[in-house]
C-alpha cells in the first residue's frame, strides 16, 4: 500500500502541474508543495522497506502504519490549503481525501478499534490545521475559527465509520480456521465418495452445521 501511495503522490503532483500550467503558472516551477510531496514519497518508500525487514514485530509495523496515516493526512492538509483562496469562497461541509484515507487504512490494517479511533481523529484534524496555517500565512481569510469545523465535520463523522470497519476486520481475524474434519470438503473427498458409490445427500448439510456451530454470535 505504501508503494501505491508513493505512486499516487507522484501522479497527483504531475496532475497538479498540468492544472497549474493551464492557469498560467510555469509547469516546472519549484513550489513548496513539491517539497511536501517529495517528503511523503520518501516516507512511503521508507515504510515499505521497513515492513520488508525480517526482524520486524507485526505490532510495531501496525503502529508505524498509524503514524504514517497521520503523516500522510498532514501532507494532504497542507497542500490542499496552500494556495490563496478567493475572498468570496463559500465555506461548506466537505468530505476530503483524508476521510477516504482513514477508511482505507481501517479496512486494510487490522488495528485495534481504539487505536484506529485515536489515529483517525488526529488524521482528520490535519485539514482544520491546514486551514489555520493558511489563515496565518494570509492566503485564506475565512470568517470565524469555527469555520474549520463547519467545513470538515464530515471527516469526523467518517472516523466513526472507520472504527466500525476496524472492529469488523479484527473480528474476522479471530474467526476459527478450518481444520481436518470441520466441514471443509475437498474435490478429492467428493471424488472418493463418487467412486465408493455412497450418497452425499447428507454430507454438505452436516458439514455446514458443524461450521456454523463454531461461529460465536458475539
Averaged confidence pLDDT in the chain:
80
Residue range 175-204: mean pLDDT, rounded: 44
Q: Is 156 exposed, middle or buried (0-12, 13-18, 19+ CB in 10 A)?
A: middle
183 has a pLDDT exceeding 80: no
Kindly write down the DSSP assignment for every residue of 87-107, as one continuous string.
Answer: TTPPP-----HHHHHHHHHHH
Give pLDDT tens digits for 142-173.
878 888 899 999 999 999 999 999 999 988 86
With cut-offs at 50, 70 and 90, classify the pLDDT of residue 176: low
Pseudo-torsion of CA 104, 105, 106, 109, nearest 10°?
A: 130
Each residue's pLDDT tens digit, 82-98:
888 877 788 889 999 99
Model pTM above 0.95: no
Most confident option among 17-26, 108-117, 175-184: 108-117
Q: Please say if the pLDDT value at position 65 is more than 90.
A: yes
Q: Per-residue pLDDT averaged across 99-104, rounded?
A: 94
Q: What are 29's three cell numbers?
A: 516551477
Report whether 91 contacts 142 (CB < 8 A). yes
CA 79 to mean position of chain CA atoms: 18
Q: Given this model, what pLDDT does residue 177 score?
A: 53
Residue 9, all three cell numbers: 503522490
For 195-216, the pLDDT digits (tens) are 444 433 344 334 343 434 443 4
**Predicted pLDDT of residue 4:** 86
Is pLDDT of 188 > 80? no
Amino acid at each position: 500500500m505504501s508503494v501505491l501511495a508513493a505512486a499516487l503522490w507522484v501522479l497527483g503532483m504531475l496532475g497538479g502541474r498540468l492544472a497549474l500550467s493551464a492557469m498560467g503558472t510555469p509547469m516546472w516551477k519549484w513550489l513548496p508543495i513539491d517539497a511536501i510531496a517529495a517528503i511523503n514519497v520518501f516516507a512511503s518508500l521508507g515504510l515499505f522497506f521497513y515492513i520488508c525487514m525480517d526482524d520486524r514485530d507485526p505490532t510495531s509495523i501496525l503502529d508505524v502504519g498509524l503514524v504514517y496515516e497521520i503523516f500522510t493526512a498532514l501532507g494532504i492538509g497542507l497542500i490542499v490549503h496552500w494556495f490563496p483562496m478567493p475572498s468570496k469562497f463559500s465555506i461548506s461541509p466537505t468530505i476530503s481525501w483524508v476521510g477516504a484515507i482513514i477508511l482505507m487504512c481501517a479496512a486494510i490494517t487490522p488495528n485495534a478499534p481504539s487505536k484506529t479511533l485515536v489515529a483517525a481523529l488526529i488524521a482528520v484534524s490535519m485539514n482544520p490545521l491546514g486551514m489555520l496555517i493558511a489563515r496565518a500565512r494570509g492566503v485564506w481569510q475565512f470568517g470565524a475559527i469555527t469555520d474549520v469545523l463547519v467545513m470538515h465535520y464530515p471527516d469526523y463523522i467518517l472516523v466513526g465509520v472507520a472504527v466500525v470497519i476496524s472492529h469488523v476486520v479484527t473480528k474476522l481475524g479471530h474467526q476459527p480456521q478450518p481444520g481436518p474434519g470441520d466441514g471443509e470438503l475437498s474435490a478429492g473427498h467428493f471424488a472418493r465418495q463418487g467412486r465408493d458409490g455412497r450418497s452425499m445427500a447428507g454430507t454438505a448439510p452436516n458439514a455446514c452445521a458443524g461450521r456454523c456451530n463454531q461461529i460465536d454470535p458475539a
